């Protein structure tokens, strides 16, 4: 058996796929999740595996987290738990601060007492994008726009992690994800454009596209398939890079084009209405992925269309 890994937010959309990967790679996995947006359904197929443990707990509960660290003694922390919505972070910045920064600091406090080898922290390439001009792509070294509390807490988390890693002597990797899509993503808020559109399309309901007046096809984003994101987690669990890396495709796609590709894959034809703008949304986002390639060998393997076909197949399988 390989190392012991503590996955926070492991009952969520991305975290549950990450837990699956770790078991496939023969890690011992402890998943901590308070089920605020995650679901036991996402991990129930893993519960029979004696290398997998699920603890329903809040990462902001210091006493509980210290007890978990003391008994499990993880060597790797994979931190996916978060408040993930830009809009919610504007509506309730204290909650965002509490979970996204306070929660991280509690984990780092635990690490001080119970040393680890590697820490994987999930940040957001989209939210931390700079203002993109022309054909450029957002690089890790750019100065981020920081136009939402969510962007600020994720960015501050990256900086805290760097300080703690240097002070307490462990390796780390910050994975700045692009917009992730795939099976198990729930249609909530602005984070799940793909599942929101898919849910509406399957119910024959029109969708709403929130955008700025000068972006008639919608804001642009970089959509990366969850399987590719999981592979990035596998690589940095083997070998940390001690810096920030973007995990995105480098392809800039307008939201209206996403909608039309979904219509195509799901063989439907339903109208969309255009509204907006929505505070906190960056207009354009596309991530340069050269650093991830150079440091880890990671490249995205699944195109938007292939990912949507995989999503459709997973949904059909679930219904069967
Ligand atoms: N989905 C994306 O496109 C995307 C893009 C960039 C970054 N991210 C980041 O990836 C991570 C996972 O996102 P996701 O899309 O899978 O969202 P998700 O909501 O499905 O997963 C987050 C998980 O964290 C859990 N959680 C939240 N607060 C907690 C707490 N206080 N204690 C314990 N568990 C808690 C939730 O119950 C949920 O299971 C987040 O850090 C998010 O910010 C996601």
Which ligand 1 atom is the nearest neighbour of the CA of 125?
A: 6
| Residues 51-78, mean pLDDT to the nearest whole number | 98
Query: Is-catalytic flag, 160?
Result: no
Q: Is the pLDDT of residue 188 over 90?
A: no
Q: Residue 319: its pLDDT value, please?
A: 75
**For the segment 252-293, what is each residue's pLDDT rounded down to a tens digit?**
999 999 999 999 999 999 999 988 777 777 889 999 999 999
Minimum CA distance residue for ligand 1 atom 7: 124
Q: Residue 85: its pLDDT value, please?
A: 92
Q: Is the pLDDT of residue 2 over 90?
A: no
| CB distance 30 to 7 below 8 Å | yes
Which ligand 1 atom is the nearest neighbour of the CA of 150?
A: 43
CATH of 4-182+224-249+287-300, one of 3.40.50.720, 3.30.300.90, 3.20.20.70, 3.50.50.60: 3.40.50.720
**For the segment 141-157, what is each residue's pLDDT rounded down to a tens digit?**
999 989 999 999 999 99
Q: Residue 190: its pLDDT value, please?
A: 64
Q: Which residue has the higher pLDDT, 189 or 192?
A: 192
Full DSSP string of the chain: ---EEEEETTTSHHHHHHHHHHHHTT-EEEEEE--SS--GGGTGGGTT-TTEEEEE--TT-HHHHHHHHHHH--SEEEE------HHHHHH-HHHHIIIIIIHHHHHHHHHHHS--SEEEEEEETTTT-----TT--B-TTSPP---SHHHHHHHHHHHHHHHHHHHHT-EEEEEEE-EEE-TT----TTTTHHHHHHHHHHTT--EEEE--TT-TT--EE-EEEHHHHHHHHHHHHHS--SSEEEES-S--EEHHHHHHHHHHHTT----EEEE---TT--S---B--HHHHHHH-------HHHHHHHHHHHHHHHH-
Helix pair 13-24, 226-238: axis angle to 10 deg: 50
pLDDT band at 19 (very low <50, low <70, confident <90, very high): very high
Find the catalytic residue in 22, 27, 121, 150.
Answer: 150
Q: Residue 317: its pLDDT value, please?
A: 84
| Residues 240-249, mean pLDDT to the nearest whole number | 98
**For the segment 87-110, what is each residue's pLDDT rounded down to a tens digit?**
999 999 999 999 999 999 999 999
Mutate which of 77, 81, 157, 304 for ligand 1 pocket (most atoms within 8 A of beta carbon): 81
Q: Where do the structural domains in the chain lie, given as residue ranges?
A: 4-182+224-249+287-300
Mean pLDDT, the chain, whole residue set: 95
pTM reported for the whole predicted model: 0.96
Distance 12 CA to ligand 1 centre (A): 6
């Amino acid at each position: 058996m390989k190392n012991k890994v503590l996955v926070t937010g492991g009952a969520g959309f991305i975290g549950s796929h990450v837990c699956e990967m770790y078991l496939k790679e023969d890690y011992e996995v402890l998943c901590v999740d308070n089920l605020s947006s995650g679901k036991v359904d996402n991990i129930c197929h893993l519960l029979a595996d004696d290398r997998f443990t699920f603890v329903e707990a809040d990462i902001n509960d210091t006493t509980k987290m210290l007890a978990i660290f003391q008994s499990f003694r993880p060597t790797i922390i994979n931190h996916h738990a978060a408040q993930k919505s830009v809009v919610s972070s504007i509506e309730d910045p204290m909650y965002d601060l509490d979970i996204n920064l306070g929660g991280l600091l509690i984990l780092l406090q635990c690490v001080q007492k119970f040393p680890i080898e590697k820490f994987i922290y999930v940040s957001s390439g989209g939210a931390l994008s700079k203002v993109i001009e022309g054909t450029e792509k957002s690089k890790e070294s750019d100065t981020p726009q920081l136009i939402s509390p969510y962007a600020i807490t994720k960015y501050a988390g990256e900086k805290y992690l760097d300080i703690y890693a240097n002070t307490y002597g462990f390796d780390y990797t910050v994975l700045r994800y692009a917009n992730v899509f795939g099976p198990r993503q729930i249609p909530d808020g602005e984070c799940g454009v793909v599942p929101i559109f898919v849910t509406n399309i399957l119910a024959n309901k029109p969708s709403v596209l929130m955008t700025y007046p000068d972006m008639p096809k919608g804001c642009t984003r970089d959509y990366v398939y969850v399987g590719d994101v999981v592979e990035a987690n596998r690589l940095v669990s083997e070998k940390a890079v001690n810096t920030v890396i973007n995990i995105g495709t480098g392809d800039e796609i307008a939201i209206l084009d996403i909608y039309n590709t979904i219509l195509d894959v799901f063989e439907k034809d339903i109208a969309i209405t255009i509204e907006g703008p929505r505070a906190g949304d960056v207009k354009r986002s596309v991530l340069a992925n050269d650093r991830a390639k150079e440091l880890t060998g990671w490249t995205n393997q699944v195109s938007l269309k292939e990912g949507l076909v995989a999503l459709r197949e997973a949904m059909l399988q679930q219904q069967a």
